[in-house]
């Protein structure tokens, strides 16, 4: 699974990914993460420790890619790739920027998208809502290019601890730049959106939810693919078994060809192999679903 994280400069993406990893590394309800690269693990944990002590990393100026694995009860169950883009790539023309072109392509291929916006900036900078709307246009075009592929989308509003989230007026202002995207996602069956207010500081709030939401639907999508493969193999096995006769077995032996009985057995073995890939995903998918019951979705 590929998850793309994007947002404008200083939206808190770099801070978020380190805190998210540290929280998930510790584990939530038998679910945890590990980084494939030990250097990435050390860097992310070190950055998280700094944030928890009140020291924030500088804004990222390069595209970063992390390879993670979701674990359930300490066992690897679902690998995924996390792509983090520097904010400037959103403002650059695709024709003139390597990172802008890469972002455009990654968004089209993404199996999960997380959009970040700074709550304080949205409320206090008149240019910020327009910047967010332009970001959502990038995402909408990418989602249209993906057709009806199952895709989770998270709108993450950072620095919510610094604004009055109890005010309906404030919440309306924060959501307004995303409204067209929200309405478009809500009107589909294959897109699943969530709105998550975040605090990424010494007292983090909700930092696990964006990744958990993305992984929940990523696992469901993978499970549907595997179940379809199992069903297809079993159907092919039944069809071959229906053509199995003693005459076919003798004729196939004489000609040195595979009999319909052997074809049926091959499909059955393949079905069992696909099911073996599917079965470990069931428990973590159920656990994720239970964890996400209270998330605001659209």
220-230 pLDDT, tens digit per residue, is 999 999 999 99
Range with lowest mean pLDDT among 84-98, 200-214, 260-274: 84-98
Contacts (Cβ under 8 Å, ≥6 apart) of 215: 1, 70, 78, 80, 112, 288
Tell which of 194, 221, 248 closes a domain. 221
Average pLDDT over residues 18-27: 96
Contacts (Cβ under 8 Å, ≥6 apart) of 5: 13, 16, 17, 82, 83, 84, 85, 114, 116
Do 87 and 31 lie in one domain? The reply is yes
117 has which bridge partners?
Answer: 157
Do 108 and 247 lie in one domain? The reply is no
Do 148 and 211 lie in one domain? The reply is yes
Which range of residues forms the domain containing residue 14? 2-221
Give the pLDDT confidence of 62-99 residue by residue, as tens digits: 678 999 999 999 999 999 999 987 655 555 555 556 66
Average pLDDT over residues 228-243: 97
Output DSSP code: residue 11: S
Number of structural domains (the chain) is 2
Which pLDDT belongs to residue 208?
Answer: 96
Do 209 and 235 lie in one domain? The reply is no
Do 60 and 88 lie in one domain? The reply is yes
Q: Residue 279 — left, alpha, or beta (φ > 0 → left; ψ -120 to 50 → alpha)?
A: alpha
> Quick one: tokens of 17?
């990914």
Do 24 and 84 lie in one domain? The reply is yes
Do 232 and 206 lie in one domain? The reply is no
Please choose, from the candidates 163, 166, 159, 154, the residue with its C-alpha nearest in 3D space to the C-alpha of residue 209.
154
Do 18 and 106 lie in one domain? The reply is yes
Q: Flag whether pLDDT at 277 surpasses 80.
A: yes
190 has which bridge partners?
Answer: none
Residue tagged 């499909």 (tokens): 267
Report the percent of the chain where pLDDT is more than 70. 94
Tell which of 191, 221, 251 closes a domain. 221
Please, what is the average pLDDT of the chain? 91
Give the pLDDT confidence of 95-112 residue by residue, as tens digits: 556 666 777 788 888 999
Q: What is the DSSP string of 216-273?
A: HHHHHHHHHHHHHHHHHHHHHHHHHHHT--HHHHHHHHHHT---HHHHHHHHHHHHHH
Average pLDDT over residues 158-184: 95
Contacts (Cβ under 8 Å, ≥6 apart) of 224: 150
31 has which bridge partners?
Answer: 28, 72
Average pLDDT over residues 199-213: 95
- Distance from C-alpha of 46 to C-alpha of 44, rounded to nearest angstrom: 5
Do 66 and 100 lie in one domain? The reply is yes
Instruction: Tell me the CATH number at 142.
Output: 3.40.50.300
**Do 245 and 197 touch, CB atoms closer than 8 A?**
no
Please choose, from the candidates 215, 297, 267, the residue with its C-alpha nearest in 3D space to the C-alpha of residue 1.
215
Average pLDDT over residues 231-241: 97
> Quick one: tokens of 102?
């890469």
Do 243 and 280 lie in one domain? The reply is yes
Which pLDDT belongs to residue 145?
Answer: 86
Q: Flag whether pLDDT at 294 surpasses 80.
A: yes
Q: Flag whether pLDDT at 201 surpasses 60.
A: yes
Please choose, from the candidates 102, 119, 106, 291, the residue with its C-alpha nearest in 3D space to the C-alpha of residue 210.
291
Q: Report which of residues 99 and 123 the model is more confident about.
A: 123
Average pLDDT over residues 260-276: 96
Do 121 and 234 lie in one domain? The reply is no
Do 230 and 106 lie in one domain? The reply is no
Which pLDDT belongs to residue 57?
Answer: 78
Please choose, from the candidates 8, 4, 6, the residue with its C-alpha nearest in 3D space to the C-alpha of residue 120.
8
Tell which of 221, 242, 271 closes a domain. 221
């Amino acid at each position: 699974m590929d998850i793309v994280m994007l947002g404008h400069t200083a939206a808190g993406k770099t801070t978020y990914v380190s805190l998210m990893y540290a929280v998930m590394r510790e584990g939530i309800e038998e679910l945890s993460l590990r980084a494939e690269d030990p250097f990435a693990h050390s860097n992310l944990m070190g950055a998280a420790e700094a944030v928890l002590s009140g020291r924030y990393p500088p804004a990222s100026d390069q595209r970063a890619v992390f390879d993670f694995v979701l674990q359930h009860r300490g066992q690897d169950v679902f690998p995924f790739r996390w792509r983090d883009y520097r904010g400037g790539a959103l403002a650059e023309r695709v024709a003139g920027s390597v990172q802008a072109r890469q972002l455009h392509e990654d968004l089209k291929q993404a199996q999960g998208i997380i959009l970040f916006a700074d709550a304080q900036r949205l409320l206090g900078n008149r240019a910020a809502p327009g910047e967010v709307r332009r970001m959502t246009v990038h995402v909408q075009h990418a989602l249209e290019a993906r057709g009806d592929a199952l895709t989770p989308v998270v709108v993450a509003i950072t620095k919510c601890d610094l604004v009055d989230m109890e005010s309906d007026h404030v919440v309306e202002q924060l959501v307004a730049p995303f409204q067209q995207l929200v309405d478009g996602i809500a009107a589909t069956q294959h897109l699943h959106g969530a709105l998550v207010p975040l605090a990424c500081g010494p007292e983090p709030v909700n930092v696990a939810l964006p990744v958990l939401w993305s992984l929940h639907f990523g696992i469901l999508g993978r499970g549907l693919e595997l179940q379809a493969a199992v069903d297809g193999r079993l159907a092919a096995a039944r069809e071959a078994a229906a053509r199995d006769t003693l005459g076919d077995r003798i004729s196939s032996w004489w000609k040195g060809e595979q009999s319909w009985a052997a074809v049926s057995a091959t499909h059955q073995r393949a079905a069992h192999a696909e099911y073996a890939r599917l079965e470990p995903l069931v428990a973590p998918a159920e656990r994720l679903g239970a964890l996400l019951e209270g998330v605001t979705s659209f």
